[in-house]
A = this chain, B = another copy of it.
Amino acid sequence: MDNHGNGTINIAVLGYGTVGSGVVEVIETNKTAINKRAGAELNIKYILDLRDFPGDPYENKVVHDYSVILNDPEVAVICETMGGIKPAYDFTKQALMAGKSVCTSNKELVASHGPELIAVARENHCNYLFEASVGGGIPIIRPLNYSLTAEKIDAITGILNGTTNYILTKMDKEGAGFEEVLKEAQEKGYAERNPEADVEGYDACRKIAILSSLMCGKNVKYEEIYTEGITKITSADFRYARQMNKSIKLLAMSRDTDRGFFAMVAPFMISREHPLYSVSDVFNAVYVHGNMLGDSMYYGRGAGKLPTASAVVSDVVDCARHLGKTVMCFWENEDVKVTGIEEDEGKFFVRVPAKQKEKAMGVFGSLAEVNAGIADEFAFMTHVMKEKEFNDKIKELGGCINRIRILSA
> Which A residues lie at the B interface, using CB under 8 A?
1-2, 26-27, 29-30, 33-34, 36-38, 131, 137-139, 142-143, 146-152, 217, 275, 277-278, 290-301, 306-307, 309-314, 316-318, 321, 325, 327-328, 330
Contact = CB atoms under 8 A, between A and B. Distances in A.
Total identical chains: 2
B294 A149 contact: no
Contacts of A33: 151-152
B301 A294 contact: yes
Contact of A150 (B152, B313, B325, B330): B313
28 contacts: A1-B1, A2-B325, A26-B150, A29-B291, A37-B328, A138-B296, A142-B143, A142-B146, A143-B147, A146-B146, A148-B310, A149-B314, A149-B318, A150-B312, A150-B316, A278-B278, A290-B310, A292-B306, A292-B310, A293-B300, A293-B301, A293-B310, A293-B311, A294-B307, A296-B298, A296-B299, A297-B297, A298-B298
B148 A314 contact: yes
A184 to B, nearest CB: 21
Could you tell me the dominant secondary structure of chain A's interface residues?
Answer: mixed
A147 B152 contact: no
Nearest to A288: B300
A327 B322 CA distance: 11
Given A143-B142, A149-B317, A278-B278, A295 B291 contact: no
A330 B317 CA distance: 14
A300 B292 contact: no
Nearest to A296: B300
- The interface centre, meaning the residue of A147, A151, A309 with most chain B CB atoms within 10 A of its CB, is A147
Contact of A139 (B30, B147, B307): B147
Most chain B beta-carbon contacts within 10 A, residue among A1, A275, A291 = A275
B291 A300 contact: no
Contacts of A139: 143, 147-148, 296
B30 A314 contact: no
Contacts of A314: 146-150
